[in-house]
Amino acid sequence: MARAPLTLDALRTTYGPHLNLAPPGGWDADPEPDKLVKTHCCFCGQQCGIQLKVKGNDVIGFEPWEDFPFNEGKLCPKGVKRYLQGNHPDRLTKALVRTESGFQESDWASAMDRVIQGIQDVQSKHGKDAFAVLSGVSMSNEKSYLTGKFARLAIGTKNLDYNGRLCMVSAGVANKKTFGIDRAANSWADIEGAEVIWVQGSNIAECSPITTDYIWRARDRGAKLIMADPRITPLGRTADLMLPLKPGSDLALTNAVLHLLNKWGMVNRAFLDAHTTGFDAALEAVKDCTPEWASELTGLPVAAIEKAARMWGEAKTSFLLHARGIEHQSKGVENCLSCQNIVLATGRIGMPSCGYATITGQGNGQGGREQGHKCDQLPGNRDIENPEHRAHICKVWGCTDEELPRKGLSAQEIMNAIHSGEIKGLLLLCFNPLVSLPDTAFTREALSKLEFFVCLDFFLSESAQHADVVLPSALHEEDEGTSTSVEGRVIKLNKAVEPPGDARPDWAIQLEIARRLGKGKFFDHLKGPEDIFNELRKASSGGTADYAGITWKRVVDEMGVFWPCPTEGHPGTPRLFEGGRFYHADGKAHVQPTPWRPAMEVVDADYPVWLTTGRTVFHFLSGTQTRRIGFLVEQCPHPYLEIHPKLAERYDIADGDAVEITSRRSAMVLPAKLVRTIRPDTVFIPYHWPSKLSANQLTARHLDPQSKIPEFKVTACRLQKTTPDKLSPELAELQRMAFEARTNQAVLPERVF
């Protein structure tokens, strides 16, 4: 039984989160490095270039990398302080094995014996597919690719999925349906010349901060910015048109815009006739989507919707960006399709300064979603149920069709199957589902039911606390490989230091497990990440995500190469769809109809307030890394409830008051943060924390039927003012940690009067 073996307090004492406040040796140590290592940030999909200062086997700081073209030295605070995850007191350096009295450090060989035994026991009793693998897209392309092969051929399970399922999969499905390829349509250079920039459901300032500057550079040249979001985010404050719409109503807005573009004759018929199919069906689906109809659903005035449509319709060039705000919905795919439809309706794609993209959230959100560690996918973004695609991969891998499992369950479905007892074993890496999946109590129950659970991680994440064996893995800067940024640019991650103690890269652990399971024939030729990349190139060759012409050397020499890049002589493809050529067999974009439907859960008399969740600029995803870095914790130690004073007044809530927030799943108590920048019918909670402070206690396991993404962004809740003693003790501990960060990291001035 994989329950956490100790109380949370006891686990915290040993494994943290504790704070790292200063570089190795403290602030007075010699800051001169032995060398600077050019690499990229380990956090979000922007994948900013950064130079790590290395002294001995320590990363002691950073230097901006101004020559890297995407960010030209710019970094958000997570990038600036990322180096503090190294030399961290919480770092796992030995394998841990669960005992009655907690975790015990183990030698590597014994821990590995237990892992092999655990996998074999589960599979011999319950079948191959009863053992699942869940991974993540903060991993390099090499690790993502290997994980797909490892799960299918070493473990032999069909049940492999990843936390990209919580990220951009809705956009991925929509991209494939409409364009026949799943990538940002442009490099970010095309943002700068756009006349109108439309941002739908993305807090760019906090979640992809470097993109802020691209948008401002366009605005400096006269571009107009339209932002649609239930909150006036920092970039929204200055937008030319700010549309604070109701959570879950995005589709109504974009459908109404398409309706108006058609009504006003602003549709580019010549482009649509030449380069698309299905547009008339899309128009039919929005024929009743008048601005009056959309106004009811979005809560926006008719005039605002009309103004947005007019600005969009009149533009000569444009760029539409969206992110999790529209993708984390049970109609996430339709939301993305509808955005694509208003782009295609104008014909403004595949040309300079004309573009469209989802802003991937995770470090390798783009590359990780095409190398084949999704339940329905093989490398090159191939379809696991397509006989030709299977045949290609079988040839590259040297396996038979029978040896290659078929489509398995998606991430949330795997957790559901663990809960129902269908899946009994789990190998988890680069994923902290206990914080990041919806309905936290359900996830905890599920993890507690596993017969065998092995986790690869560099810190003991909240999910890892439930594992039978934890194998210490390597940090980003302790390994090398490639990743693919938000732009579709393949970039090189370089190794700065060796992993400490017994820690080792995920790929090395997977290769060892594969060998021990008797599957060495598929893996023994892979000696390291470059071998893996070169096999990935072959496996992706001929697929839509074609990396065949990309070599590590080219990636370094050319400051990144944009896929598709089918041959070594090919220059790469920064801008897709030039000349109106799309990636379906007929060369056309297949426009999809997007009829309106409501969210799975809507407000009612019992749960009258909309709840939405998201990120802050100071933390990354489940916070496993950022909740351990002093500077970041100081700036944002704990979650809070953002609420408009008008809504707060109704419940007699003042700033700082304890508020109980209850959904159909659970209840939690947080301090109120009164802000006028949110709709008065909506509240917001940032989601980076575990346990009693996890926003996902409240969210539902409602999935988009196509992308299987959970509806994190739309929950119905009710509010009640309560007393401060109801606040979790975990909140007080985080406030204490913020004080520690504030007072120890730098000596603050003492005012004498």
- Write down the least CB distance from residue 660 to another protein, Å: 22
Nearest to 568 by CA among 576, 558, 578: 558
- In angstroms, the CA 312 to CA 294 distance is 17
Q: Of these, 19, 59, 210, 659, which contacts another protein (CB under 8 A)?
A: 210
Instruction: Supply φ then ψ for residue 742, to 5 degrees.
Output: -70, -35
- Write down the least CB distance from residue 241 to another protein, Å: 8
Q: Of these, 66, 385, 606, 649, which contacts another protein (CB under 8 A)?
A: 66
Q: Of these, 56, 89, 301, 571, which contacts another protein (CB under 8 A)?
A: 301
Helix (H) / strand (E) element for 494: namely none
Q: Of these, 76, 218, 315, 354, which contacts another protein (CB under 8 A)?
A: 76
- In angstroms, the CA 513 to CA 598 distance is 46
**What tokens were used for 410?**
């998606």
Nearest to 250 by CA among 198, 298, 313: 298
Residue 299 lies near another protein (rule: CB under 8 A): yes
Nearer to another protein, 66 or 531 (CB): 66
**What tokens were used for 659?**
């508020």
Q: Of these, 11, 96, 130, 242, which contacts another protein (CB under 8 A)?
A: 242
State the number of binding residues for another protein (CB under 8 A).
69
Q: Is 604 exposed, middle or buried (0-12, 13-18, 19+ CB in 10 A)?
A: exposed
Nearer to another protein, 629 or 714 (CB): 629
Residue 73 lies near another protein (rule: CB under 8 A): yes
Nearer to another protein, 531 or 655 (CB): 655
**Options 208-216, 319-327, 557-565, 583-591: segment touching another protein (CB under 8 A):** 208-216
Q: Of these, 38, 40, 55, 74, which contacts another protein (CB under 8 A)?
A: 74
3-22 residues near another protein, rule: CB under 8 A: 22
- Write down the least CB distance from residue 211 to another protein, Å: 8
Nearer to another protein, 578 or 655 (CB): 655
305-324 residues near another protein, rule: CB under 8 A: 306-307
Which positions from 582 to 621 touch another protein by CB under 8 A, shown as an x/- string? -----------------------------------xx---
Whole-Å CA distances, 508 to 146, 210, 511 = 10, 33, 5
- In angstroms, the CA 179 to CA 182 distance is 8
**Options 302-310, 466-474, 578-586, 658-666: segment touching another protein (CB under 8 A):** 302-310
Residue 303 lies near another protein (rule: CB under 8 A): yes
Nearest to 692 by CA among 655, 736, 714, 660: 660
Nearer to another protein, 577 or 618 (CB): 618
Count of beta carbons in the 10 Å neighbourhood of residue 109: 9
Site of tokens 């304890």 = 658
176-205 residues near another protein, rule: CB under 8 A: 205
Q: Of these, 6, 8, 36, 80, which contacts another protein (CB under 8 A)?
A: 80
Q: Of these, 17, 45, 49, 61, which contacts another protein (CB under 8 A)?
A: 61
- Write down the least CB distance from residue 196 to another protein, Å: 16
Nearer to another protein, 102 or 680 (CB): 680
525-584 residues near another protein, rule: CB under 8 A: none
677-736 residues near another protein, rule: CB under 8 A: 677-680
- In angstroms, the CA 228 to CA 424 distance is 43
CA 457 remoteness from chain centre: 18
- Write down the least CB distance from residue 635 to another protein, Å: 6
Residue 641 pairs in a beta bridge with 672
Residue 240 lies near another protein (rule: CB under 8 A): yes
Q: Is 35 exposed, middle or buried (0-12, 13-18, 19+ CB in 10 A)?
A: exposed
Q: Of these, 290, 534, 635, 662, which contacts another protein (CB under 8 A)?
A: 635
Helix (H) / strand (E) element for 660: namely strand 658-662
Q: Of these, 86, 236, 488, 505, which contacts another protein (CB under 8 A)?
A: 236
Nearer to another protein, 233 or 366 (CB): 233
Q: What SS3 class is residue 417? A: helix
- In angstroms, the CA 418 to CA 751 distance is 57
**What tokens were used for 9?**
């307090």
Sequence-distant (≥ 6) Cβ neighbours of residue 168 within 8 angstroms: 323, 324, 327, 358, 360, 361, 365, 369
- In angstroms, the CA 289 to CA 117 distance is 59
CA 737 remoteness from chain centre: 27
Instruction: Supply φ then ψ for residue 97, to 5 degrees.
Output: -125, 135
Site of tokens 């999790």 = 324
Whole-Å CA distances, 133 to 150, 464, 506 = 9, 14, 13
665-684 residues near another protein, rule: CB under 8 A: 673-680
Contact set with another protein (CB under 8 A):
22, 27-28, 31-32, 61-62, 64, 66, 73-77, 79-81, 205-206, 209-210, 212-213, 216, 219-220, 230-240, 242, 244, 299-301, 303-304, 306-307, 617-618, 631, 635, 644-646, 655, 673-680, 745-750, 752
